[in-house]
Amino acid sequence: MLDAPVFIEKQAQLEEALPELEEAMSYSLADAIREGSTVTDQMIGEWEGLDGSVCALSAAALAAKARHFI
């Protein structure tokens, strides 16, 4: 999932838009979902689509990966 071409492209977009890294302790799942959703569309009924749409948890994973937490 995290290695899909669309996901990698969206990760690069998000990395460019991220502010300076905050302390990891102040970063929540909700923050990650909000960040990831800035560069993706909402997916309903699936984990991720080929068009760059993703579910909330995939959006969070995208943001966490863009911040190099995972």
Domain ranges of the chain: 5-12+26-66
In this prediction the pTM is: 0.64
| pLDDT per position as a tens digit, 1-59 | 667 788 788 888 888 777 655 555 578 899 999 999 999 988 887 766 777 788 999 99
Query: What is the structure's pLDDT at 48?
Result: 67
Distance between CA atoms of residues 20 and 66, nearest Å: 12
Evaluate whether 2 touches 66 at the Cβ level (below 8 Å): no
Query: What is the structure's pLDDT at 8?
Result: 84
Query: What is the structure's pLDDT at 62?
Result: 92
Query: What is the structure's pLDDT at 32?
Result: 94
Evaluate whether 35 touches 57 at the Cβ level (below 8 Å): no
